[in-house]
């Protein structure tokens, strides 16, 4: 019969353990109680961890330590010392300190001489689940003490097992939540790009990282009977990127035909033998494959090869891969839609360019279209056209320049390259990756090594413009991106080169047609003038002279005008830095706010609670540290000092988190979000838009100026704008910038003069249209009145006789 005192101890222990739900606190209670039952005692509670997978050896894990004893490592091998003997015999063991060697308890770290050492197995339903290790430093442990400890363990054992099961269930739930979070993050990563070339390696690498496998293969459906391996992450010696598999050639084709997921968990499966007939090291011993289906259409197969831990795949792994495949299929479908849309854009661009260069015989216009228009769909940074006529070379057009000066410092290197390329009858495609230049000939590598260093470019592509009658010239494109041309772009350039060759040949032939018929109206006017009387001729000459003097000497202000559009106002999106629920909103639509003004707050009770808890723990640790210092316990004070530093950083972090609960305006302006006060109670995720603040103090108006007038524009010029919304009001301001690149508007190219206008009353709004005039200086009246026809005549004359 047990002593009443022991019964009371067990009851208190069980009552205290019931108040705890986790294994560590319950084990601590057991260890403390066991240490108190022996003189000068110390106790450690272990839990037996079975190996998972079975190839991994079992171990003891220390869950609690009480008394003057410690462990260098909380994980102890199953066969270590007395614990190993306990695992074999599964019954209480008692050892005297005299009969023990240091190797028998090498896992223990004790500062005092060990008198006795006892091991009590923790058995539940006749299964060993743990152990209680009790050491005595003052008196020997008696057999009666072992019986008491055994009875104590019998009562506490089920509590430890139930706590362990609770933790396993909780960890399983947390793992499920973590997996769902990973799937959500994975879907966001896949949706973040629509570029197929970037998406494919992203899919394989992220899937491999999430599954923890040796390799992931991404197969695309090439046609009804064949699949093509498009991308691979990891090492799969049995398949290389670019390889294909047809119906009946392997399990990938079987998955495609059946449209059902596949799991192979037996390394002796004949399908794996067919995949790796030569038995190459690192080949598949376990495989998963899932079809990628979107809108009832299969786009490919995703395949996972070999788990990194050496275990075979199971149904849970297949379920996870199948979940990933849904996100992959959606992302690939979106990227495919973008590719289709780009093909439509490419066709539209080709049609537009073709119409523009074939609708005119103006050589300059044809050249400008060739070097500028394709930039809408081909990502080059600069293009140039060089012409050959009668054996002579000439740089004719460069992107962004109305006139190509071959001797200009930034144009001369390009001119030299095009002159060298003109000697070749083939396409020249040179790219530089890192320090390596991709070119077959050493001469080509040396020439472009110097050119790329001076120009900053990393890719050059030139295509000859030839027809049945000979060579017209060459078209060159360059970019700082060595891979700026895709196969689709190369196809576009082939078509564009053919169209450009025809258009340039026609424009050159048109320029050679005689224009003698233009002189006939002039001769007719002269005959009529000579037929007049002398007095009338004199008066006419005098009037003409006066008109010439007026036109040559009288100054007039020159203004260039164009359509004006108010650009979007400067605005700022207010987004939360942390997730939370809006608790207060301090503004309404139309309210004026200042920079850094708090316009709303998120519910911060959790942040305040965390801050208060961290501050309390920080103060507690400081008190404990001071108490240790007062007791001359330097080591304990050092430990407390480390904890104090930790909680101090936690206080700072929680304070920063609390500050992020306030949403502030980054600029001064007006709140533009309707019904922003109704956002109270809404949960905001990181990056969600809460409100928009618009700066209405100043407006920017884009005045479209024709290409022929763009050379007169200067920053700082005065400008006047009349908007259709205010027909009787004129807004005045200054040009702050002239756009460096022109755009095609109708049949002409325009440049934008951006005019800054004061908008203190907020009358000007984005999207308003009207007319704008920019004052570019004082010039003779004749230049102001006849500037455009004179420029037209000059351009005609230059095209006929200029060099």
Cα separation, 465 vs 504, in Å, equals 9
Q: Are 476 and 461 in contact (CB under 8 A)?
A: yes
Does 255 score more than 70 pLDDT?
yes
pLDDT tens digit sequence for 608-644: 887 788 788 888 878 888 888 777 777 777 887 888 7
CA distances to 214, 278, 282, 308 from 235, in Å: 6, 17, 8, 12
Cα separation, 368 vs 380, in Å, equals 15
- The position carrying tokens 């079809």 is 291
The CA-based dihedral angle spanning residues 341, 344, 345, 348, taken in that order and rounded to the nearest 10 degrees: -160
Chain length of the chain:
803
Burial degree of 167 (CB within 10 A; 0-12, 13-18, 19+): middle
Q: Are 489 and 510 in contact (CB under 8 A)?
A: no
Nearest Cα to 302, choosing from 177, 192, 190, 193?
190
pLDDT (average), residues 688-702: 82
Q: Are 34 and 179 in contact (CB under 8 A)?
A: no
- The position carrying tokens 């009529």 is 528
Of 384 and 567, the structure prediction assigns the larger pLDDT to: 384
Neighbour-count burial for 762-778, b at 16+ CB within 10 Å, e otherwise: eebeeebebebbbebee
pLDDT tens digit sequence for 462-502: 988 888 888 888 999 999 988 888 777 888 888 888 888 88
Residue 519: its pLDDT value, please? 46
CATH fold, domain 4-171, is Beta-Lactamase (3.30.450)
- The backbone torsions φ and ψ at residue 114, rounded to the nearest 5 degrees and listed phi first, read -80, 125
| CATH superfamily membership of 696-777 | Efflux pump adaptor protein, beta barrel domain (2.40.30.170)
Which CATH number, 3.40.605.10, 3.30.750.24, 3.10.28.10, 3.30.450.40, labels domain 193-341?
3.30.450.40
Cα separation, 396 vs 398, in Å, equals 7
Residue 512: its pLDDT value, please? 65
Q: Which of 5-14, 26-35, 260-269, 431-440 has the lowest mean pLDDT?
A: 5-14
pLDDT tens digit sequence for 125-178: 888 888 888 888 888 888 888 888 888 888 888 888 888 887 777 776 766 666
Sheet holding 580-585, edge to edge: 662-664, 598-602, 580-585, 683-684
In 3-state terms, the chain is what percent helix, strand and coil (to 5)?
A: 45, 30, 30
CA 327 to chain CA centroid, Å, is: 17
- Cite the beta strand spans of 400-514 per DSSP E: 428-433, 436-438, 459-467, 470-479
State the average pLDDT for the chain: 81
pLDDT tens digit sequence for 703-713: 888 887 777 88
Q: Are 413 and 451 in contact (CB under 8 A)?
A: yes
Burial degree of 177 (CB within 10 A; 0-12, 13-18, 19+): exposed
193-341 and 372-511, same CATH topology: yes
pLDDT tens digit sequence for 106-123: 778 777 788 888 888 988
Residue 695: its pLDDT value, please? 76
pLDDT tens digit sequence for 273-311: 788 777 777 788 888 889 888 877 888 888 888 888 788
The structural domains of the chain, with segments of one domain joined by +, span 4-171, 193-341, 372-511, 572-690, 696-777
Radius of gyration, alpha carbons of the chain: 42
- The backbone torsions φ and ψ at residue 176, rounded to the nearest 5 degrees and listed phi first, read -65, -45
Read off the pLDDT band of 184 (50, 70, 90): low
Does 217 score more than 70 pLDDT?
yes
CA 98 to chain CA centroid, Å, is: 67
Q: Of all residues in the chain, what percent carry a pLDDT higher than 90? A: 2
Judged by DSSP in three states, 547 sits in: helix
Does 314 score more than 70 pLDDT?
yes
Q: Are 686 and 619 in contact (CB under 8 A)?
A: no
Q: Of all residues in the chain, what percent carry a pLDDT higher than 70? A: 92
Residue 479: its pLDDT value, please? 92
CA triplet 350, 351, 352: central angle to 5 degrees?
90
CATH fold, domain 372-511, is Beta-Lactamase (3.30.450)
């Amino acid at each position: 019969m047990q002593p009443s005192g022991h019964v009371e101890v067990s009851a208190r222990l069980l009552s205290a353990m019931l108040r705890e739900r986790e294994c560590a606190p319950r084990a601590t209670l057991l260890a403390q109680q066991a240490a108190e039952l022996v003189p000068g005692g110390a106790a450690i509670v272990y839990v037996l961890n079975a190996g998972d997978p079975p190839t991994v050896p079992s171990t003891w894990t220390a869950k609690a330590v009480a008394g003057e004893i410690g462990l260098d490592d909380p994980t102890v091998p199953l066969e270590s010392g007395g614990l190993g003997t306990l695992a074999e015999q599964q019954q209480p063991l008692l050892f005297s300190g005299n009969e023990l060697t240091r190797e028998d308890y090498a896992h223990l770290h004790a500062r005092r001489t060990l008198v006795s050492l006892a091991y009590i197995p923790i058995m539940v339903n006749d299964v060993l689940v743990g152990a209680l290790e009790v050491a005595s430093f003052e008196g020997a442990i008696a057999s009666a003490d072992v019986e008491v400890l055994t009875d104590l363990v019998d009562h506490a054992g089920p509590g430890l097992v139930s706590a362990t099961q609770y933790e396993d269930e909780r960890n399983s739930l947390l793992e499920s939540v973590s997996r769902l979070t990973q799937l959500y993050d994975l879907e966001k990563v896949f949706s973040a790009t629509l570029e197929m070339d970037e998406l494919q390696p992203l899919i394989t690498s992220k899937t491999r990282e999430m599954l923890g496998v040796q390799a992931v293969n991404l197969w695309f459906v090439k046609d009804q009977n064949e699949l093509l391996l498009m991308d691979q992450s990891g090492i799969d010696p049995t398949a290389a990127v670019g390889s294909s598999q047809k119906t009946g050639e392997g399990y990938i084709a079987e998955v495609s035909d059946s449209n059902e997921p596949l799991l192979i968990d037996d390394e002796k499966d004949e399908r794996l033998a067919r995949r790796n007939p030569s038995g190459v090291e690192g080949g598949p011993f376990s495989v998963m494959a899932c079809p990628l289906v979107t809108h009832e259409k299969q786009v490919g197969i995703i395949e996972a090869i070999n788990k990194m831990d050496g275990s075979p795949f199971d149904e849970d792994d297949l379920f996870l891969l199948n979940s990933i495949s849904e996100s992959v299929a959606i992302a690939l479908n979106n990227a495919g839609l973008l590719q289709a849309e780009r093909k439509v854009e490419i066709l539209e661009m080709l049609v537009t360019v073709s119409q523009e260069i074939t609708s005119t015989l103006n050589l300059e216009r044809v050249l400008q279209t060739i070097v500028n228009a394709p930039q809408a769909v081909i990502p080059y940074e600069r293009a140039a056209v060089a012409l050959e006529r009668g054996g002579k070379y000439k740089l004719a057009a460069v992107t962004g320049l109305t006139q190509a000066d071959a001797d200009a410092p930034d144009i001369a290197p390009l001119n030299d390259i095009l002159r060298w390329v003109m000697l070749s009858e083939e396409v020249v495609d040179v790219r530089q990756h890192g320090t390596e230049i991709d070119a077959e000939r050493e001469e080509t590598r040396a020439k472009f090594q110097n050119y790329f260093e001076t120009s900053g470019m990393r890719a050059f592509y030139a295509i000859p413009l030839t027809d049945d009658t000979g060579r017209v010239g060459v078209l060159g494109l360059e970019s700082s991106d060595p891979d700026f041309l895709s196969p689709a772009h190369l196809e576009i350039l082939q078509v564009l080169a053919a169209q450009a060759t025809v258009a340039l040949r026609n424009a050159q032939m048109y320029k050679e047609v005689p224009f003698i018929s233009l002189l006939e109206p002039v001769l007719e006017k002269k005959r009529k003038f000579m037929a007049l009387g002398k007095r009338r001729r004199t008066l006419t000459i005098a009037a003409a002279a006066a008109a010439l003097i007026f036109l040559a000497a009288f100054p007039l202000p020159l203004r260039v005008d164009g359509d004006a559009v108010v650009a979007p106002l400067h605005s700022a999106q207010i987004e939360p830095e942390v997730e939370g629920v809006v608790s207060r909103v301090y503004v309404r639509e139309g309210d004026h706010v200042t920079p850094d003004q708090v316009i709303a707050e998120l519910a911060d009770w959790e942040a305040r609670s965390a801050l208060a808890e961290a501050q309390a723990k920080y103060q507690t640790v400081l008190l404990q540290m001071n108490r240790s210092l007062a007791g001359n316990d330097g080591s304990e004070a050092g430990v407390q000092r480390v904890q104090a530093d930790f909680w101090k950083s936690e206080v700072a972090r929680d304070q920063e988190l609390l500050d992020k609960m306030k949403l502030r305006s980054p600029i001064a302006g007006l709140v533009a979000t309707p019904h922003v006060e109704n956002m109270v109670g809404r949960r905001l995720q990181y990056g969600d838009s809460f409100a928009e603040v618009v700066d209405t103090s100043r407006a920017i108006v884009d005045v479209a100026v024709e290409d022929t007038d763009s050379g007169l524009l200067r920053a700082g010029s005065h400008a006047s704008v009349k908007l259709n919304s205010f027909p009787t009001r004129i807004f005045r301001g200054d040009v702050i910038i002239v756009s460096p690149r022109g755009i095609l508007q109708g049949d002409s190219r325009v440049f934008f003069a951006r005019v800054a206008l004061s908008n203190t009353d907020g009358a000007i709004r984005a999207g308003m249209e009207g007319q704008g005039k920019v004052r570019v200086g004082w010039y003779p009246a004749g230049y102001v009145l006849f500037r455009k026809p004179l420029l037209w005549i000059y351009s005609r004359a230059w095209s006929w006789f200029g060099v």
